[in-house]
Amino acid sequence: MAMVAPSRASMTDGLGRRIDYLRISVTDRCDLRCRYCMAERMTFLPKNQVLTLEEIALLADLFIARGVRKIRLTGGEPLVRRDMPDLVRRIGRHLGGSLDELTLTTNGTRLAEHAARLHDAGVRRINVSLDSLSPARFAHITRGGEISRVMQGLDAAREAGLAVKINMVALKGVNEDEILPMLHWCDSRGFDLTLIETMPLGDTGEDRTDHYLPLTHVMEHIRQRRRLTALPERTGGPARYYAVEGMGARLGFITPLTDNFCADCNRMRMTCEGKIFMCLGHEDHVDFRAALREGGLEAVQPLIDRALRLKPARHDFRIGAAAPAAALSRHMSVTGG
């Protein structure tokens, strides 16, 4: 497929929000089965439904030409895909020009193998999902994961020069007692920490209501011990960041349930099968795969405009006795964490 000339149409949605951040899920597969994210037994997409490396790279090129300035690669677990280093290099060639940043979200289990290559390709910052520092509790949350592999990956990331932010899903009755210890540990390692409320996506076989922990409660708990000062800077995502008294680590909060952050949303998400979800909390999407395979990039251009028009004002995540067990049937691993 040949690259087409970039459209000059604005990447602005129907509500006037500038869309300059694209999250690309490169696979729906993962080597862990985190209880809040996936079911213990998952059915994954057949290979012919997953975009090829070349197709993902071409679509990334097109979005960059349209005005996207930041791309995050996600999964599933992106590093289980064997051609990931090639894709990172392909997209990374835009850095320093039309692309400001290329980042990655990973569970860290394969980071030891890939950290240096990610840095060589232009990645400077990664998010690593880590919900417990206890090997036994980590194994419980991930249904069998080995925390030692993640720790080896984090060591490799630091050695390679990658800035690390730890993503921790706050789970009532599971890891809430580890939030402050995790913050201290991140500070000691030179990492930032972002806390995330659990989101009702997909049937995981677990009752999320039992484990839902409002981050407003967590923030108040921390404030009783350390002064928090709101920071103006953002990293392009939904997290609100705070400086913590006596610490170098920044503390972020992602609060889809207690504090809606949709008014200034700047994101779209593309799944590994080429579906664009304008909002994580809605099933509405635009399918690029058939258009790309049948008509090339020229056929995709108008679909981007359609996606921009359809982007909703906000999500409608709810949790509790009156809410469904899963607001959406789609698992987080399908759309990208």
pLDDT for the residue 312: 73
> Does residue 204 sit within a domain?
yes
* pTM: predicted TM-score of the whole model, two decimal places: 0.86
pLDDT for the residue 198: 85
> Does residue 167 sit within a domain?
yes
Binding-site residues: 23, 30, 34, 36-37, 72, 76, 105, 129, 165, 199, 262, 265, 267-269, 279
> Does residue 2 sit within a domain?
no
Distance of CA 15 to the CA centre of its chain: 23
Looking at the structure of the chain, the number of domains it has is 1
Binding-site residues for GTP: 23, 72, 105, 165, 267-269
Binding-site residues for [4Fe-4S] cluster: 30, 34, 37, 262, 265, 279
> Does residue 212 sit within a domain?
yes
> Does residue 7 sit within a domain?
no
Q: For residue range 269-288, list pLDDT tens digits in order.
A: 999 999 998 776 566 789 99
Strands of 101-106's sheet in order across: 228-230, 240-244, 250-254, 192-197, 163-170, 125-129, 101-106, 70-74, 21-25, 267-270, 275-277, 285-287
> Does residue 18 sit within a domain?
no
> Does residue 253 sit within a domain?
yes
What is the dihedral sign for C-alpha 173, 178, 182, 183?
positive
Query: What tens-digit pLDDT sequence spans the chain (337 residues)?
Result: 544 444 445 799 888 889 999 999 999 999 999 988 888 888 899 999 999 999 999 999 999 999 999 999 999 999 999 989 999 999 999 999 999 999 999 999 999 999 999 999 999 999 999 999 999 999 999 999 999 999 999 999 999 999 999 999 999 999 999 999 999 999 999 999 999 998 765 554 565 567 788 999 999 999 999 999 999 987 667 789 999 999 999 999 998 766 655 667 888 899 999 999 877 656 678 999 999 999 999 999 999 999 998 887 655 544 444 444 444 444 455 555 5
CATH number, position 154: 3.20.20.70
Residue 46, Cβ density class (10 Å: 0-12 exposed, 13-18 middle, ≥19 buried): exposed
> Does residue 113 sit within a domain?
yes
pLDDT for the residue 321: 46
Residue numbers of the domain that contains 131? 24-335
pLDDT for the residue 281: 59
